[in-house]
Structure 1
Amino acid sequence: MKLRLIIIFVILAVPNAWAGSQSQAEPQHEPAEIIKFAKDVEKYAASKGARAFIIARMGRPEKDLPDGIMFTHTAIAVYSNITLNSGEVLQGYAIHNLYQTAGSPDKSELVVDYPVDFFWGAHELKAGIVIPDTQLQQKLIALIAAGNDQALHNPKYSVIANPFNSQFQNCTEYTLDLINAAIYDTLDIARLKANAAAHFSPQRVNTSRVKLMFGSMLMDDVTTKDHKGKVYTTTFTTIGKYLQKNQLADEFLTLNSKGEIQSL
């Protein structure tokens, strides 16, 4: 019984408590609320003239997120022509995600979805938004249009992937890789990791290595094999601060379902 309680404690304590990079999840809010919020996020981005922006959601309740972690999933939204099942073509934001593969949480796949899908399983109707400057937006759009986003995908998934090597990858590291590929005009992974190590400040994971060790034993999507010493990973907030520090972000904020905006 004591061992069982220890295992339960570890499961609750390890980083998987903030994992939220699945493409499908049960809705936590009324569908009408989700649809309205998704539209509000789109309208806000469009009102700022954003052709491409970084978007984040909360896949776990805010109270369950570790210190320093505001969101559980991050991706890039691109203003696009969207073809409906009826054949009608509309304009809106397509969201380019790295999601954990259903049934194989230690693997990932690239999935394009749309704001309503993106927020469907969100626990809190709150979005993280970073709108890059115009030049970086254009570079991100060109990179994705050329299919080069595929070249930067590493299907080996870890929720606490180290952003400074390419052994594993999570959604936020993938987003950072896309951003740096656009900034530095390269798909060379070694160069991207070297530039990240030189200029990007990651988030310290405030969980003991003992808990992380147990987590890696119990959960396929938790590993510290790509870390030496203290564990650091990429988050929406660290990406926003990175762009802000280098004067590449026009907007860095959160938006909730009440329409409240908080600058970060």
Structure 2
Amino acid sequence: MKHLPTVLLFMVLSFVSNITQAGSEQHSKAKFAAQDIASFAKQVEKFAAEKRAHAFIIGRLGQPADELPKGIQFTHTAIAIYSKIKLANGDTAFGYAIHNLYQDSKAPDNSNLVTDYPVDFFWGAQELKAGIIIPDEALQLRIVEAIENGVNKSLHNANYSIIANPYNNQYQNCTEHTLNIINAAIYQTDDMPTIKQRTKSFFKGQKVHVNRFKLALGNMFADGVSTSDHQGKIQTTTFTSIARYLDEYKLLNSAMVITPTQSSALF
């Protein structure tokens, strides 16, 4: 790196900073007042509850939208399950528990499975904006069953790359992990080779519109960024590509974007 011209070095460091920040880390500094985050989290829960969602896919924006590659609307995706939740005072209540794959902030090329709740989920969001994908009821129930049976754990690959290839299991990111669970639920299997074969046959990945030179530099200078699992065009899993996949195969109830002032169709 010391041999790079100063201008090029600055470009490399800027790119690496942006792409690693786009990862789905758990702990981030809040950009909004706690009461605003809590209010928005409750709004999202209420929306899902009114739809009688047992399970849904949830997305948040962890990086400024104008810094994201074309076609990517959300940077972190997870699965929310309607659950009995134990409160801090020992009481129980019903609400949505969110099952995440989070990038490890101390080891960015690794990930951890963490269950948290809507306020936690939106704590470090760049915008109070949520993506909500509600599958049809039959698939919702299969996703709930998969989580209850620990399929999310059996499918977890801790080797993390922000642009993981959905068609193999060399690396995972949060959105590919979510897709793996969905396909495990659809095809009633946790056999990874079978899941990847089905993914290749039916799922259309999102092409990553980032200069290959920059991606190569990302490989060199940032943990959590790798293209070694890709051949040819770079493709990854996104929140929107999951929604389109479910829609194409008639497994989608609704796909929405929610802000504090409105809700609108994802596409």
TM-score by length of 2: 0.95
- Which residue, 183, 202, 213 being the options, matches 1:180? 183
Distance 1:148 1:260 in 2: 32
* Matched length: 264
Matched, 1:33 2:36: yes
Query: Structure 1, unaligned stretches of length 5 or more?
Result: none
Aligned to 2:168: 165
Matched, 1:12 2:14: yes
Aligned to 1:137: 140
- 1:7 offset after TM fit, Å? 2.5
Distance 2:139 2:224 in 1: 31
Aligned to 2:54: 51
Distance 2:125 2:23 in 1: 9
Residue 248 to residue 48, structure 1, CA distance change in 2 (3 Å): same
Where 1:124 maps in the other structure, the secondary structure is coil
Distance 1:11 1:173 in 2: 26
Matched, 1:152 2:172: no
- 1:17 offset after TM fit, Å? 5.7
Distance 1:63 1:263 in 2: 18
Paired residues of 2:109 and 2:224 also in contact (CA < 8 A): yes
- Which residue, 181, 205, 221 being the options, matches 1:202? 205
- Which residue, 66, 71, 81 being the options, matches 2:69? 66
Paired residues of 1:18 and 1:72 also in contact (CA < 8 A): no
| Structure with greater strand share of residues | 1
Instruction: Name the aligned partner's letter for residue 3 of structure 1.
Output: P
Distance 2:100 2:202 in 1: 24
Instruction: Name the aligned partner's letter for residue 8 of structure 1.
Output: F
Distance 1:77 1:122 in 2: 17
Query: Structure 2, unaligned stretches of length 5 or more?
Result: none
- 1:65 offset after TM fit, Å? 1.2
Distance 1:77 1:227 in 2: 30
Q: Once the two structures are aligned, what percentage of the paired residues are identical? A: 48
Paired residues of 1:81 and 1:90 also in contact (CA < 8 A): yes
- 1:235 offset after TM fit, Å? 0.3
Greater CA drift, 65-74 or 12-21: 12-21
Distance 2:209 2:200 in 1: 20
